Copies of this chain bind each other. A is one copy, B any other.
Amino acid sequence: MKMAEKLGYSPNAIARGLVMNRTGLIGVVVADITNPFYPEFLETLGIRLGELGRHMIVQNAVMGSEVESARLLLQQRVDGIIFTTALMHSKTVETLLKRRVPIVLSNRVGRTDCDTVQSDNGRGAAAVADHLVSLGHRRIGTIKGHLDASTTIQRSEGFQNRLAKLGFEIREGLVLTGGFSYAEAYKATTTLLERRWPPTALFCHNDLMAFAAMNAARTAGIRVPDDLSIVGFDNVRQSQWESLNLTTVDQSLEEMAYRAVNLLEERIANPDLPPRHVTLKCSLIIRGTTSITRGRSRRSTGIRSNHHRIAST
């Protein structure tokens, strides 16, 4: 300690931590900070934690390095950890729960033995299905997120179940994976648009992938929304930009941050509480990237597409 002090380090937090077993620090684990959803979420988490006199330490875990992130945060003696991107079968979460470390899973959830806060992804996706079908779309594609994320599973099921209920089935050839990444979604969109009968509408599992789809469509000479309607999920700030103007599903990001922090506070104060689960409403925000089908995509040919044109007029 003396050496630390001599070198100008403040030993207070360590000393206090050892005596009180509290540091006032909360760790937050994210997987991809260049997806604009996460900086927005982090900012809101930071504000809420600040209001409670707590401080946030961020670990940007590359997909799969959750273990290392959690280990580092524990070394720093955080009072608890908020996960924003945990995968379904995360061993890290398992281990932390066994060690009774206070944690909350937010956004991506997928288990019931700990505190969770998530959006009603299924209903959000169902609203997208309703919207696209009401606009006359029948040939609808999907670009899914990371296959091991609860959000992907919930959005897929919600979307397909609603389509089935409306009497439509999703064609397997029109469902691709974009892994929540811009580059993958760009490629997937290009592939879909090169199909003999390309989709007239595309549901992307997040906004970042929807932006990629818009850009890939532009490069392919496909007009949005005239030839192709596109819907995202998240309602990040960029989706409101006049130049993007994306139809998407709003997640109550502020509410999610607020609830995650509150759940964690309660868990720290009372480790024996039973697991609590919060599900937040989503709402469809209709903007400029969706419209009624104007018949077949310019690049498609064949009877099926003609049928669509007839159906929509």
Q: Which residues of A line the B interface, CB within 8 A?
A: 1, 3-4, 7-10, 12-14, 17-18, 21, 25, 33-34, 36, 38-40, 42-43, 46, 55-60, 62, 71-72, 74-77, 99-101, 182, 211, 214-215, 218-219, 237-238, 241-244
Give the residues in chain B near A8, CB-CB below 8 Å: 74, 99-101
Cα of A62 to Cα of B55 in the assembled complex, Å? 12
| Pair A43/B34 contact, Cβ less than 8 Å | yes
- A sample of 24 inter-chain contacts (CB < 8 A) reads A3-B21, A4-B77, A7-B21, A8-B74, A9-B74, A9-B77, A10-B74, A14-B18, A25-B72, A33-B39, A33-B42, A33-B43, A34-B40, A36-B36, A43-B60, A46-B62, A57-B58, A57-B59, A58-B60, A211-B241, A211-B243, A214-B242, A218-B243, A243-B244
| Pair A34/B33 contact, Cβ less than 8 Å | no
Give the residues in chain B near A182, CB-CB below 8 Å: 237
Give the residues in chain B near A72, CB-CB below 8 Å: 25, 55
| Pair B76/A57 contact, Cβ less than 8 Å | yes
Q: Shortest CB–CB separation between residue A84 and chain B, in angstroms?
A: 13
Q: A75-B12, A215-B243, A243-B244 are in contact. Are A21 and B4 (CB under 8 A)?
A: yes
Give the residues in chain B near A17, CB-CB below 8 Å: 4, 14
Cα of A284 to Cα of B187 in the assembled complex, Å? 28
How many copies of the shown chain assemble into the complex? 2
Give the residues in chain B near A218, CB-CB below 8 Å: 242-243
Give the residues in chain B near A12, CB-CB below 8 Å: 75
The closest CB in chain B to the CB of A78 belongs to: B9
The closest CB in chain B to the CB of A33 belongs to: B39
Give the residues in chain B near A100, CB-CB below 8 Å: 7-8
Give the residues in chain B near A74, CB-CB below 8 Å: 8-10
- Of the listed residues A43, A46, A241, the one surrounded by the most CB atoms of chain B closer than 10 A to its CB is A241
Cα of A210 to Cα of B57 in the assembled complex, Å? 31
| Pair A77/B40 contact, Cβ less than 8 Å | no
The closest CB in chain B to the CB of A236 belongs to: B34
Q: A14-B14, A58-B57 are in contact. Are A34 and B34 (CB under 8 A)?
A: no
The closest CB in chain B to the CB of A28 belongs to: B58
The closest CB in chain B to the CB of A219 belongs to: B242
- Closest 8 A/B residue pairs (Cβ): A13-B75, A8-B99, A58-B58, A215-B242, A33-B39, A218-B242, A34-B39, A215-B241
Give the residues in chain B near A55, CB-CB below 8 Å: 72
Q: Shortest CB–CB separation between residue A200 and chain B, in angstroms?
A: 20
Cα of A238 to Cα of B212 in the assembled complex, Å? 10
Cα of A99 to Cα of B9 in the assembled complex, Å? 8
Q: Shortest CB–CB separation between residue A74 and chain B, in angstroms?
A: 5
